[in-house]
Amino acid sequence: MIEARGLVQTFQTRQGRQKAEVRAVDGVDLDVAEGEVVGFLGPNGAGKTTTLRMLTTLLRPTAGTARVAGYDVVHQSVQVRRSIGYVSQAGGAFSGARAGDEVVDHGMLYGLPRGVVEQRGKELFEQMDLPGLWTRMPKNMSGGQKRRLDIVMGLIHEPHLVFLDEPTTGLDPQARANLWEHIRGLRDRLGVTVLLTTHYLDEADALSDRIVIIDRGRVVASDTADNLKSQVAGDLVDLELADASLASRAAERLGTLVAGRDVVEVDGPHVRARVPHAGRSLQGLLRDLDGAGIELESIGVLRPTLDDVFLTLTGRSLRDAESATDPTGRTDDGDREPAVVGAATPSTPTTGEAVR
Ligand SMILES: Nc1ncnc2c1ncn2[C@@H]1O[C@H](COP(=O)(O)OP(=O)(O)OP(=O)(O)O)[C@@H](O)[C@H]1O
Ligand SMILES: [Mg+2]
């Protein structure tokens, strides 16, 4: 459904009087098969939205090629647009019209009869938990309600391929869970292909058949969440010793399971290291420690997270990168505001963005 080769996007910017070039996307290859749900992850500014905007024909690639739903994004952009749904990060609902009218107009732009669109729209309002809001103006909706309206508009024409740019940002936990169910349903019942970006790592983990991580405009990993975790991070083993004076000897022994003593962290009575397949190697370690008279107070094993994967691949934490650069000060607690609430631009069949 998506086949991108060497996609590049550069922007010309000014810093004072100096012209500068931002290489937002720097040679992205991406393959997404029919029926896959792919989570596209990366810190703020990594190039996710820019990649999506090229794949949805809103931005012409500076270099490289992409076919989406079988059509070339530059030479067959109309066919691409007919085949996809796109929920942009900025949102697309025009705040000055009634929500239901907006949805109906949107669906009719795809050539669907009014009656069909109205019926589908009302069903989607139910599914997205927006009952009673059909005649409400988007400007009088909450941020989360507007986000759900954006999603209704992205799905109204029943596309086989959907791009969702941070679809659950600003949604409360219940609305997030509801949308997760809906995305799973789209794939399982209708075979819809989904490419979604998110900053919620639990969401990427729970929803995605495959994770693609992008950093500074380049894809740095692409695999299932499980494979990524087991290949790049290893399990974090935390030994708590009965007596802190034994920590150094315990660290020597834990070091034999990993690259050596150097990668073992000692913190008071705690000795920690990332160990590949801890489940297999721990029994031997525990016997060894016991034999050496090193008594343990407790032992903890933490499965790696996607953040650990990112840290291993790039040397930076996805969370650190976000909190350092995110101007909205968003946190990963599921209780944040959307990055942009209801852009005040009229919608087109895909979004409210202008085509360049
Ligand atoms: N129109 C533009 N002009 C100049 N620079 C731009 C433009 N659009 C994006 N950029 C820059 O390109 C880089 C990638 O931006 P992009 O929006 O693709 O990131 P992102 O991965 O979607 O980040 P976020 O998680 O914050 O949404 C950033 O450095 C951004 O500042
Ligand atoms: Mg973005």
Q: Rounded to whole angstroms, how far apart are CA atoms 161 and 217?
A: 23
DSSP, collapsed to helix, strand or coil, labels residue 66 as strand
- What are 66's strand-pairing partners? 4
User: What is the pTM for the complete model shown?
Assistant: 0.80
Confidence band (pLDDT; 50, 70, 90) for 99? very high
Pocket test for ligand 1, best of 8, 10, 11 (most atoms within 8 A of CB): 11
Does 148 sit in the ligand 1 pocket, CB within 6 Å?
Answer: no
Q: For ligand 1, is residue 44 a contact (CB within 6 Å)?
A: yes
Judged by DSSP in three states, 120 sits in helix
Q: What mean pLDDT comes out for the span 96-116?
A: 93
217 lines ligand 1 (CB under 6 A): no
Q: How far is the CA of 178 from the centre of ligand 2 (A)?
A: 22
Residue 243 near ligand 1, beta carbon < 6 Å: no
On whether the CB atoms of residues 66 and 73 are closer than 8 A, the answer is yes
User: Given this model, what pLDDT does residue 319 score?
Assistant: 60
Q: What is the pLDDT of residue 131?
A: 86
CA of 154 from ligand 2 middle (Å) equals 17
**338 in contact with ligand 1, CB cutoff 6 A:** no
- Residue 318 binned pLDDT confidence (cut-offs 50, 70, 90): low
pLDDT at 320: 53
Average pLDDT over residues 250-256: 89
In degrees to the nearest 10, what's the CA dihedral of 340, 345, 348, 352? -30
Residues 179 and 10: beta-carbon distance below 8 Å: no
Give phi and psi for 206, each to the nearest 5: -75, -35
Q: Which CATH code for domain 233-303? A: 3.30.70.100
Give the integer Cα–Cα distance in Å for 347 and 355. Answer: 12
Q: Is 53 in the pocket of ligand 1 (CB under 6 A)?
A: no
Phi/psi zone of residue 6: left (φ > 0), alpha (ψ -120 to 50 degrees), beta?
A: left
Instruction: Provide mean pLDDT across the span 196-211.
Output: 91
Q: Summarize the confidence of residues 74-97 as an average pLDDT.
A: 89
Is 60 exceeded by the pLDDT of residue 313? yes
* pLDDT exceeds cutoff 60 at 343: no
Q: Quick check: CB of 90 below 6 Å from ligand 1?
A: no
Q: In the structure encoding, which two tokens stand for residue 147, read together?
A: 């986000």
Please work out whether the CB of residue 149 comes within 6 Å of at least one atom of ligand 1.
Answer: no
Nearest atom in ligand 1 to the alpha carbon of residue 13 is 4
49 lines ligand 1 (CB under 6 A): yes
Q: 227 near 195, Cβ under 8 Å? A: no
Which numeric CATH code is attached to 2-229+311-355?
A: 3.40.50.300
42-50: average pLDDT: 93
Buried b / exposed e across 28-47, counting CB within 10 Å, b at 16+? bebebeebbbbbbbbbbbbb
Compute, in angstroms, the gap from residue 171 CA to the centroid of ligand 2.
17
89 lines ligand 1 (CB under 6 A): yes
For ligand 1, say whether the CB of 330 is within 6 Å of any of its atoms.
no
C-alpha distances (whole Å) from 285 to each of 119, 253, 258, 289, 297 are 63, 7, 12, 6, 15
Q: Which of 111-120, 186-195, 224-233 has the lowest mean pLDDT?
A: 224-233
Residue nearest to atom 11 of ligand 1 (CA): 24
Which residue stretches of 109-139 are H helix?
114-127
Q: Check pLDDT > 70 for residue 339.
A: no
Other Cβ atoms less than 10 A from the Cβ of 15: the count is 7
| 337 pLDDT above the threshold of 70 | no
Question: Which ligand 1 atom is at minimum distance from the Cα of 214?
Answer: 21
Q: Model confidence at 25, in pLDDT bands (50, 70, 90)? A: very high
Average pLDDT over residues 279-288: 88
Give domain limits for the chain: 2-229+311-355, 233-303
Cα-based distances in Å from 62 to 218, 252, 356? 15, 53, 12
Chain mean pLDDT for the chain: 85
Percent of the chain with pLDDT over 90: 56
Label residue 36 by pLDDT band (50, 70, 90).
very high
Residue 157: predicted pLDDT: 93
Tell me whether domains 2-229+311-355 and 233-303 share a fold.
Answer: no
Please return the burial class of 78, using the count of CB atoms within 10 Å of its CB with bins 0-12, 13-18 and 19+: exposed
40 pLDDT exceeds 60? yes
Please tell me the distance between residue 232's alpha carbon and the centre of ligand 1 in angstroms: 27
Atom nearest to 326 CA in ligand 1: 26
Pocket test for ligand 1, best of 25, 26, 49 (most atoms within 8 A of CB): 49
Angle at 202 between CA 300 and CA 333, to 5 degrees: 95
Rounded-to-integer distance, Cα 179 and Cα 173, Å: 10
Residue 128 CA to residue 171 CA, distance in Å, equals 11
Report pLDDT for 35.
95
